[in-house]
A and B are shown apart, each in its own frame.
Chain A
Amino acid sequence: MSTEFALAVSKLTKTFGTGDLAVAAVRSVDLDVAAGEVVLIMGPSGSGKTTLLLMLGGMLRPTAGSITVAGTDLAVTPERRLPQLRAQHFGFVFQDFNLLSALDALENVELASNLAGVHGAPAHRRGTELLERMGLVHRLHHRPDQLSGGEKQRVAMARALANDPPVILADEPTANLDSGMGREVARVLRSLADDDQRAVVIVSHDARLRDIADRVLWLEDGTFRELDAMAHDPICGMAVETTLDHPHLERDGTLWYFCSTGCRDEYDARPVAESTAPAPG
Chain B
Amino acid sequence: MLGRVPFARRTLFAERRRAALAVAGVAVALLLVFILDGIFAGAIQQVTAYIRTSRADAIVSQQSVRTMHMSSSALPPSDVERVRGVAQVAWVAPIRYATGIVVTPTDRQLAYVIGYQPGRRGGPRSLVEGREPRDGEAVIDRVAARGLDVPLGGRVQILGRPFRVAGFSSGTTSITNTIAFITYRDFGRLRGSAVSYVLVGGRPGTSPRALRDTLAAALPDSTVQTRDEFVVREASIVRDMSADTMQIMTFVALVIALAVIALLLFTTTLAHLRDYGIVKAIGGSPAQLARSVLVQALWAVALALGFAVVLALGVAGLINRFSDNIAIVIEPSSVARVAVGASVVAVIGALLPVWRIARLDPAAAFRSAL
Interface residues of A (CB under 8 A from B): 50, 53-54, 57, 59-60, 80, 83-88, 90, 92, 94-96, 98-103, 107, 110-116, 118-120, 123-124, 159, 163, 171
Shortest Cβ distance from residue A85 to the other chain B in the assembled complex, whole angstroms: 8
Shortest Cβ distance from residue B335 to the other chain A in the assembled complex, whole angstroms: 31
User: Which of chain B's residues 270-293 have a Cβ closer than 8 Å to chain A?
Assistant: 272, 274-275, 278-286, 288
Interface residues of B (CB under 8 A from A): 2-5, 7, 10-11, 13-14, 272, 274-275, 278-286, 288, 361-363, 365-366, 368
Q: Which of B2, B275, B282, B286 is A101 in contact with, Cβ under 8 Å?
A: B275
Chain B residues with Cβ below 8 Å from A163 are 283
Shortest Cβ distance from residue A94 to the other chain B in the assembled complex, whole angstroms: 6
Shortest Cβ distance from residue B295 to the other chain A in the assembled complex, whole angstroms: 13
Chain B residues with Cβ below 8 Å from A110 are 3-5
Chain B residues with Cβ below 8 Å from A53 are 366
- A96 near B368: Cβ-Cβ < 8 Å: yes
Chain A residues with Cβ below 8 Å from B10 are 102-103, 107
Asked if A159 meets B4 with Cβ closer than 8 Å, knowing A95-B368, A102-B11, the reply is: no
Q: Which of A59, A88, A113, A116 is B362 in contact with, Cβ under 8 Å?
A: A59
- B4 near A103: Cβ-Cβ < 8 Å: no
- A85 CA to B4 CA in the complex, in Å? 20
Q: Which of B13, B14, B278, B283 is A83 in contact with, Cβ under 8 Å?
A: B283
- A171 near B366: Cβ-Cβ < 8 Å: yes
Asked if A114 meets B363 with Cβ closer than 8 Å, knowing A83-B284, A86-B283, the reply is: no
Shortest Cβ distance from residue B264 to the other chain A in the assembled complex, whole angstroms: 15
Chain B residues with Cβ below 8 Å from A84 are 283, 285
Shortest Cβ distance from residue B356 to the other chain A in the assembled complex, whole angstroms: 17
Chain A residues with Cβ below 8 Å from B2 are 111, 114-115
Q: Which of A80, A87, A102, A123 is B7 in contact with, Cβ under 8 Å?
A: A102
Shortest Cβ distance from residue B267 to the other chain A in the assembled complex, whole angstroms: 14
- A112 CA to B284 CA in the complex, in Å? 9
Task: Please name the residue on chain A nearest to B277 by beta carbon.
Answer: A98
- A185 CA to B335 CA in the complex, in Å? 56
- B366 near A114: Cβ-Cβ < 8 Å: no
- B282 near A115: Cβ-Cβ < 8 Å: yes
Q: Which of A54, A90, A92, A113 is B3 in contact with, Cβ under 8 Å?
A: A113
